[in-house]
Each structure stands twice: as C-alpha cells, then as structure tokens.
A = this chain, B = another copy of it.
Amino acid sequence: LSVNPQIQTVADAGERALIERIRVRAGQPSRWITTGIGDDAAVMTMNRGEVVVATADSLVEDVHFRRSWTAPRAIGQKAVAVNFSDLAAMGAAPRAVLLSLMLPPDTPLADFDAMVDGVVAECEAHGASLAGGNITSSPRVLAIDVTALGGVHPRRTLTRSGGRPGDELYLTGSIGAAATGLALLEGSVDRGTLADDLADCLRRYEAPIAHVRCGRSVAGNRAANACMDLSDGLADAARQMAQASRTGVVLEGKQLPIHAAARAWSERSGADPVASALIGGEDYELLFAVPAKRRRGFLAAVKRAQVETTRIGSLTADSRMRWVRGDDSFELPGGYAHFG
C-alpha cells in the first residue's frame, strides 16, 4: 500500500483502509488458515486428532503499557507473546491470532502500522498467522485484545492441575528482570545510558519471549505432570499450580534463578532480592512439575529446546504454600492481581 502523506491518524484512514493495511501487512496465511482476514470469521484446520487450545489476553493503555514509554511495535509484539506463553504452558503449537484493536481516533497511523507489524512479527516467529479480528474506535483508551489459537494432541496437553506431591519444580530462565525493567521505566530511565544488564531487564519487560518450543518439547515427551507460565510472578504461579493440583508447595529461596541485575537492583534499594523476585510479574518463564522418574526425559526435552532450567522446589503432600531459606520458612506472598 502506498501511504498518502495527508493521512496521519487512524480516523483519517477509516476502518476499511485499516483492515486492508492489516491484510497486506499480515501477508500469506499459513496452510492451517483456509479463510483469513476479510470474511465474517477465520477458518482454521486442525491436524488429525488435535484439540484446539484457545486463550485471550489484553493490554490496556496506562495499565499494561504507556505509549510515552514503549514503542508501538513492542506493544503489538508483547500482546501476542503473552498469549503464546499461555499456549506454551499448555504444550500447544500457536497457529492463529485474532487481533481486536480499540483505538482512540487520534492514534497516529504510523503507530497503528508499527503495532500491527509487531503482532505479525511475533506470529511469524512461531509459525502462526494473523487470521482475523476487529477494529473499533475507543473514546479515551488504546487497548489490544489478542486471542491465540493453537493445536496439540490431547494426551500431550499440559495443565496446571496435574501436579502430584513429590513432583520436582523446575523453572526456565531467570526471574525478576521484567519487574526491574518496569521499575526502570517508572523511574524515567534514559535508555541511552543503561548498562547492558539493565537494558536486558528492559527488553525482558517490553519484549518477553514465549517459551513455545520448550513447552511443546516437554509436553511432547510427556515429561511433566503440570505446567503454567509466570505472568503474575513465581509465588502466584506456584500457589495456583499447587491449589489446582491439590498439593502444597515449597520453594528453595537459595535456588531461585534471580537475574543478576534484578538482584543488584533489589539490594541497592534495600529490598530482599528473593522476596522481590517471588512477587515480580511478567517474566513469562515456565514452571514445570516433574515426577522424579521423568527427570531425565524432562531435562533432555528442555535441552532440545535450548532453554536453561533450574530446580527450585517441590510440590508437597501437606497444604502449605511456602518458601524456605536455610532453616527459615515463609508463607508464599500473593501475586499481582488487577483491582488489588
């Protein structure tokens, strides 16, 4: 599409032209999408015997992002990544995305294009297609709601409720980085002067990576009893997995893979790095519950996905939710929840 230099906001362009811009930017859909953008609904074929895995998550201006802080492309990319993280936690392969945009009329057209490009880039990184959605005006707030659809064979589905007492808990990557990145933005940091490790925290907050390959590899190997992602922090995830599995949980404070810059950041502000890392949200790592006899298969599966994991605790037969450090034992804190 050629861009008319007179057209500067989404209101200038109009709904039909915006849909056409999305269609062009989305490119050719994958072979699973038989009807894509432009009909009443998208049509997606499944592989034989697969079930559909579906999740929706939204980013709302001034709640999840600020337009003055984060580039539109990163907003689009993150809106998809947080959904793919949910698919990864179920062991599913992302196939299609529906994009619902609620746009203030004065949204610059360049921002619109960049958001859509971010959505498409994240889809393409995981072999999925932007297949449909909806655009509407919104009087005051920009919001993006993304639905991600994936496929998985039913016996290879991971849930959060399958954990058993004695299962070992493993965590991908490291935690605390995203919360530190957010703190940097809240402190109006100058991006140009950031040390590399703090820049990494910012990247982890703004452009989280969905561990799709890891989730699928473990699920395909049937190497875990339960899995969930860490959107609202490790303490929250561990608590929810244990509740759904009707077990207790104990996390080893000394074992937690806390991001080095996040640890330094906590210490500098006088906070306990472990306590901070337990409640820090938005890391989008995966938490797995693995029976001891499947440990080797699990470690082989995560290695194939080229992801680091750390053993951080266990599910327990009692109903306590706690973390320990040496001989001290603490109740797991709550996670981030909307509306407090």
Interface residues of A (CB under 8 A from B): 10-16, 18, 34-35, 38-46, 51-58, 60-64, 86-87, 89-90, 92, 96, 98-100, 102-103, 105, 131-141, 143, 145, 147-150, 154, 157, 159-161, 227-229, 244, 337-340
Q: Which of B58, B131, B227, B244 contacts A134 (CB 8 A)?
A: B58
Closest beta carbon of chain B to A215's beta carbon, Å: 10
Q: Which B residue's beta carbon lies closest to that of A133? A: B56
Pair B15/A337 contact, Cβ less than 8 Å: yes
Q: Which B residue's beta carbon lies closest to that of A42? A: B54
Give Cα A328 to B63, complex, Å: 55
Pair B52/A149 contact, Cβ less than 8 Å: yes
Pair B139/A90 contact, Cβ less than 8 Å: no
Pair B63/A143 contact, Cβ less than 8 Å: no
Copies assembled: 2
Give Cα A76 to B134, complex, Å: 18
Contact residues in B for A38 (Cβ distance below 8 Å): 244
Pair A90/B39 contact, Cβ less than 8 Å: yes
Given pairs A40-B160, A57-B134, A136-B338, 7 additional interface contacts (CB within 8 A): A43-B157, A54-B54, A55-B132, A56-B145, A102-B143, A137-B338, A137-B339
Given contacts A51-B45, A60-B137, A139-B141, whether A39 and B132 have CB atoms under 8 Å apart is: no
Pair A63/B338 contact, Cβ less than 8 Å: no
Q: Which B residue's beta carbon lies closest to that of A98? A: B56
- Return 23 A-B CB contacts under 8 Å, by A number: A10-B339, A14-B337, A35-B159, A38-B244, A41-B90, A41-B150, A43-B154, A44-B54, A46-B52, A52-B52, A52-B149, A55-B98, A56-B99, A56-B134, A58-B136, A58-B145, A60-B136, A63-B136, A63-B138, A102-B143, A105-B339, A134-B145, A149-B149
Contact residues in B for A13 (Cβ distance below 8 Å): 339
Closest beta carbon of chain B to A161's beta carbon, Å: 7
Q: Which B residue's beta carbon lies closest to that of A340? A: B14
Contact residues in B for A89 (Cβ distance below 8 Å): 40-41
Given contacts A16-B337, A90-B41, A339-B18, whether A147 and B58 have CB atoms under 8 Å apart is: no
Closest beta carbon of chain B to A194's beta carbon, Å: 28
Q: Which of B63, B105, B229 contacts A40 (CB 8 A)?
A: B229
